[in-house]
């Protein structure tokens, strides 16, 4: 690798962790290759990236941008103004920073930035985490050079000649969780002879999943099942007191790697990054997708896995009547557990961050030839 030139990368994406973490993972991988490179992140000035990106050691600039609401609101009336303001600020950021490449991972803030970058002939790459493309990435796809996707069949949304199937970048500490099982059982004070279920609803929590789990607590206790239940910040007061030895309620799990390692079965939402992580983790999964996400992303993500026989998909609308029997049947069926586990592992893309960085490399090398 040529490292004598100091490359400058501009990275944009945000609004949710699903857009921010891939952006940070891609930057980390590029930093390994080009230790002298300079990075600048661009996000939406009132969203979580303004806090998460600096925590990971990168500079960030905020744009005054927000998505269009579905109904007529004051925010919507401000949208044209915000868009113009963001395009102008993006132009000045790019002029000042002079990037060698621009990388977008979705979310509203990446739209103006990559639009301006591509108009200035800066090589641009976008990464789409979901199996159903987001509005921003669809809008940018005509202007960028490369589109890295996590799922097959994305020609429905993007020009096929630009698509590279890479997977989603995930945390590196998940690559070898099999070796951490004993450490995990100790960390969560679990009995190694008993089955453990892990419940994940995202950082804020998932109301419906929490209600379902709460409803089956008597069953789990009767069956002597251990539970690691991440209920989320919004539901802490309601459920945290239900902790008792075998039933452990956590607002947040600091050691996700150990939570995965300790579990025999996982019940989870189907955000793009969770799905990619669960493929690498390779445990039997029951997906309960959130129906309240734009364009019903989560159901489509879960369906892409469930159709291959690699996970169980339980719709929220059917969950009240079926949840306990689905969990109970899976616990009893060792063969199904093994089958789900080995099938989902085959869908894992553990080298996603490296593969995306390879594509960025190609763009900057080609650009320097011209």
Verdict on whether the full-model pTM lies above 0.95: no
- Provide the residue ranges of all domains of the chain, joining segments of one domain with +: 8-170+350-369, 173-345
299 known member of a binding site: no
Q: How far apart are the first and last CA of the chain?
A: 19
16 known member of a binding site: yes
62 known member of a binding site: no
Q: CA 56, CA 70: separation in Å to the nearest integer?
A: 33
Q: Which residue has the tokens 């099999």?
A: 178
Return the structure tokens found at 370.
Answer: 């011209």
205 known member of a binding site: no
Q: Which of 192, 171, 196 is nearest to 183 (CA)?
A: 192
Q: CA 192, CA 182: separation in Å to the nearest integer?
A: 8
Count other C-beta atoms under 10 Å from residue 227's C-beta. Answer: 22
130 known member of a binding site: yes
185 known member of a binding site: no
Task: Tell me if 284 sits within 8 A of 215, measured CB to CB.
Answer: no
- Tell me how many degrees the CA angle 187-193-197 measures, rounded to the nearest 5: 65
273 known member of a binding site: yes
- Tell me how many degrees the CA angle 60-170-206 measures, rounded to the nearest 5: 85
275 known member of a binding site: yes
Q: Which of 325, 365, 369 is nearest to 146 (CA)?
A: 365
Strands 146-149 and 124-128: parallel
101 known member of a binding site: no
Domain 8-170+350-369 of CATH type 3.40.50.2000: yes
Return the structure tokens found at 222.
Answer: 């009767």
271 known member of a binding site: no
- Reading the chain (370 residues) residue by residue, the pLDDT tens digits are 544 578 999 999 887 777 888 999 999 999 999 999 999 999 888 888 888 899 999 999 988 776 655 566 666 677 778 778 888 899 999 999 999 999 999 888 899 999 999 999 999 999 999 998 988 899 999 999 999 999 999 999 999 999 999 999 988 788 889 899 999 999 999 999 999 999 998 777 788 999 999 999 999 999 999 999 999 888 988 988 888 878 999 988 989 999 999 999 999 999 999 999 999 999 999 999 998 877 788 999 999 999 999 999 999 999 999 999 999 999 999 999 999 999 999 999 999 999 999 999 999 998 776 5
160 known member of a binding site: no
CATH of domain 173-345: 3.40.50.2000
118 known member of a binding site: no
276 known member of a binding site: yes
Label each residue of 336-368 as H, E or C: HHHHHHHHHHCCCCCCHHHHHHHHHHHHHHHHH
63 three-class SS: strand
Q: How many residues does the chain have?
A: 370
DSSP code string of 68-111: PPSS--HHHHHHHHHHHHHHHHHHHHHHHH--SEEEE-SSTTHH
Q: CA 116, CA 340: separation in Å to the nearest integer?
A: 45
DSSP 200: E
Q: What's the burial of 95, exposed, middle or buried (CB within 10 Å: 0-12/13-18/19+)?
A: exposed
149 three-class SS: strand
């Amino acid at each position: 690798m040529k490292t004598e030139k100091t490359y400058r990368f501009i990275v944009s994406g945000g609004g949710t962790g699903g857009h921010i973490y891939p952006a940070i993972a891609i930057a980390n991988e590029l930093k390994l290759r080009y230790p002298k490179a300079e990075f600048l992140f661009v996000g939406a000035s009132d969203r979580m990236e303004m806090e998460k990106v600096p925590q990971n050691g990168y500079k960030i600039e905020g744009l005054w941008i927000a998505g269009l609401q579905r109904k007529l609101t004051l925010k919507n009336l401000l949208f044209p103004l915000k868009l113009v303001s963001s395009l102008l600020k993006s132009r000045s950021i790019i002029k000042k920073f002079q990037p060698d490449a621009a990388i977008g991972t979705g979310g509203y803030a990446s739209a103006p930035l990559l639009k301006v970058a591509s108009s200035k002939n800066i090589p641009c790459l976008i990464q789409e985490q979901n199996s159903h493309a987001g509005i921003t990435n669809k809008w940018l796809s005509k202007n960028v050079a490369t589109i890295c996707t996590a799922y097959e069949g994305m020609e429905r949304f993007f020009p096929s000649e630009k698509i590279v199937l890479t997977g989603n970048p995930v945390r590196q500490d998940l690559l070898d969780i099999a070796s951490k099982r004993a450490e995990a059982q100790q960390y969560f004070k679990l009995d190694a002879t008993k089955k453990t279920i892990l419940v994940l609803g995202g950082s804020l929590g998932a109301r419906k999943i929490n209600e379902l789990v709460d409803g089956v607590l008597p069953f789990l206790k009767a069956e002597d099942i251990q539970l690691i239940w991440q209920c989320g910040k919004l539901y802490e007061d309601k459920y945290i007191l239900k902790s008792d030895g075998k039933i452990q309620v956590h607002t947040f799990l600091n050691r996700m790697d150990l939570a995965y390692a300790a579990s025999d079965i996982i019940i989870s939402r189907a955000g793009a990054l969770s799905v990619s992580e669960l493929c690498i983790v390779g445990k039997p999964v029951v997906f309960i997708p959130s129906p309240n996400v734009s364009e019903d992303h989560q159901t489509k993500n879960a369906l892409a896995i469930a159709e291959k026989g690699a996970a169980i998909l339980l719709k929220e609308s059917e969950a009240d009547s079926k949840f306990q029997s689905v969990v109970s049947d899976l616990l009893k069926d060792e063969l199904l557990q093994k089958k789900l586990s080995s099938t989902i592992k085959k869908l894992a893309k553990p080298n996603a961050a490296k593969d995306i960085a390879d594509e960025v490399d190609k763009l900057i090398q080609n650009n320097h030839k011209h």
